[in-house]
Amino acid sequence: MFLVLFCARVEAQNEEDRVLPWTSERRLTWADYQGRALKTEWASATTASGITYSLNSIIGNNESRLEIIVVSLFYPDKSWYKPDLCDDVVLSHEQLHFDITELFARKFRERLKSVKNDKNIKKKIRAIFVEINKELNTFQNKYDRETNYSRNVPEQLVWNKKITEDLVVEE
């Protein structure tokens, strides 16, 4: 299962709001899942991740430019699992949710390249952000449906390969 968190700004995080940024070197472990499990009978784990962005105006040498930072984050305190129902296959499925979030963060960055800096820049960026998150949510739901939440192992392996290849191509 996947929970997407939409954040428009990266803010200073307090201890309860710890986050892990996506990196190709670090894979999730069950120890990263610190949230309390929901009382559902069908879900064995939930990965809470989302895309965040921040805008910075940089002024110097009689010029100004806009810096946009886009990050995909994992939220340990909102992510949970049921140890008696989870194994390495489920963890792989949950990792892919986070990887998919990173793919859509990259799509967001790519779309931002065409945005012109003018008085409507914040509104334009917000519109792209909302659009990307709708696409991300649709894609995550398709992933869960097609893999049957990791229970369809052959299909899970197909998705693992595709998303891994897409991440490598995008880097």
Q: How far apart are the first and last CA of the chain?
A: 26
Which comes out higher in pLDDT, residue 29 or 170?
Answer: 29
CA distance 154 to 171: 26
**Each residue of 94-122: b (16+ CB within 10 Å) or e?**
bbbbbbbbbbbbbbbbeebeeeeeeeeee
The pTM score is 0.88
Per residue in 9-29, pLDDT tens?
A: 434 345 456 999 999 999 999
* Residue 90: domain span: 2-170
Give the distance from CA 49 to its chain's centroid.
Answer: 4
When pLDDT is cut at 50, 70 and 90, the band that residue 53 belongs to is very high
SS3 132: helix
Give 92-125 pLDDT, tens digit per residue: 999 999 999 999 999 999 999 999 888 899 999 9
Average confidence (pLDDT) over 45-56? 95
Q: How many domains does the chain have?
A: 1
> Rounded to whole angstroms, how far apart are CA atoms 81 and 37?
6
Query: Tokens standing for 168?
Result: 């490598």
